[in-house]
Amino acid sequence: MSITTGSSTLGERKAIASIEGLSFRYPDSQRHALQDVSLEIGQGEVVLLAGPSGCGKSTLLRAINGLIPHMYPGDYRGSVTVCGLTVAETPMSTLAQNVGLLFQNPENQIFMFSVERDIAFGLQNLSVPRAEMRSRVDEAMRLLGVTDLAHRAPHELSDGQKQRTALAGVIAMRPKLIILDEPTSLLDPKTALEVVSLIEKLNRELGITFIVVEHRLELLIPIAHRLVVMDGGSKVMDGPPQDVLADSRVEAYGVGVPPISRLYNALSKDGMRLPKVPETPEELAEELNGL
């Protein structure tokens, strides 16, 4: 089983982000939020980051987009390189052109008078020429399906539309890597699935790399290339999602293992041999029907 550490899980992919021996402690804290974490993210990967509350996921995301150490100073050891830039030595404005961040709650992200202006906001800050701005905003609106909403005020939008608008604002910056912190937790199940298929589309069509933190694993598993599990500030598991979920240790880490994966693991433990690790309940039903 390929539950490995280091770069061997990358296969043929080139690394877009490399974290080497990273330890970090917030100034007011006794313990390290991150303990000697090494992780390589390959170009074009969709990486799902999971682990119990307080395991260091959010700290790791901040270390990748530069909020750590630029906005949150602390005891920082090791190195983080993103798109060839050493994060600790690169200004936030430069990093922001390479790494996009989408918050859990779009209300914290969209605030302008219209959808279009909101999407243009980041580009304005970078003083992108007007014509270029126009075409990038139009492209982002088209990709996220919010063109019809261009002149609407954000408060008139549904939650799903808000999340798409926030994501369009991130896409307009043309980042190579996008970090999503629980992007679907406030959305109804259908809208959440729509956001997931958008992530899949942006990954497939534009080759954008995604790092996603999400507690409802069953939503993201179908599109993730890799599942990384953290616990107590360390990386404890890393591999293809189906392999990680089929490892009996995973449930002990407080990761929201989907019911179907838990059932598969329980049946395997009881000595039942099923042809393959199921990705969906329908797949598991088929396997059982075929016995």
Partner 1 sequence: MTLIEFRNVSFVHQTGVTALSDVSLTVGKGETVAVVGENGAGKTTLVRHTNGLLKPTQGSVVVDGVDTRDTTTATLSRAVGIAFQNPDHQLFSESVENEVRFAMKNFGFAEGLISQRLDWALKFFGLEQYRKSSPLVLSGGEKKRLTLACILAWDPEVVVLDEPTVGQDSLQKEKLAQIFRLLQSTGKTIIIVSHDVEFLWPIQPRLVVMSGGRVVADGKISVIMADRELLEGARVTQPQLLRLYSGLRNKPAGPFLDVLEARDWIGGWRARREAR
Residues of the shown chain interacting with partner 1 in the complex, contacts defined by CB under 8 A: 51-54, 58, 104, 158-160, 182, 185-193, 215-216, 218, 251, 254-260, 262-263, 266-267, 270, 272, 280-282, 284-286, 288-289, 291
One-character DSSP codes across 172-197: HT--SEEEEESTTTTS-HHHHHHHHH
Query: Quick one: 204 or 262, whose CB is closer to partner 1?
Result: 262
Distance CA 110, CA 193 (A): 21
Closest CB 53 distance from partner 1, rounded Å? 5
Residue with Cβ nearer partner 1 (138 or 194): 194
Q: For residues 99 and 195, what is the distance between their CA atoms, to the nearest angstrom?
A: 19
51 or 122: whose CB is closer to partner 1?
51
Whether residue 230 contacts residue 50, with contact meaning beta carbons closer than 8 Å, is answered with: yes
State the minimum distance, in angstroms, from the CB of residue 275 to partner 1: 15
Query: Taking the complex as a whole, how short is the minimal distance between the CB of residue 56 and partner 1, in angstroms?
Result: 12
Residue 278: partners with Cβ closer than 8 Å, 6 or more residues away: 260, 261, 264, 284, 287
CB within 8 A of 163, min separation 6: which ones? 102, 106, 183, 184, 187, 191, 195
- Shortest separation between residue 244's beta carbon and partner 1, angstroms: 14
Q: Judged by CB, which is closer to partner 1: 18, or 105?
A: 105
Closest separation in Å from C-beta 133 to partner 1:
30
Amino acid (one-letter) located at 85 = L
Shortest separation between residue 94's beta carbon and partner 1, angstroms: 29
Local structure of residue 257 (DSSP, 8 states): -
Our CB check for partner 1 shows the closer of 36 and 251 to be 251
**Closest CB to partner 1 among 14 and 273?**
273
- Is 93 within 8 Å of 48 (Cβ atoms)? no
Q: Which residue, 25 or 176, has its beta carbon nearer to partner 1?
A: 25
Burial class (CB in 10 A: 0-12, 13-18, 19+), 197: exposed
CB of 62 to partner 1, least distance (A): 13
CA nearest neighbour of 52 among 259, 233, 184? 233
Burial of 235 (0-12, 13-18, 19+ CB in 10 A): buried
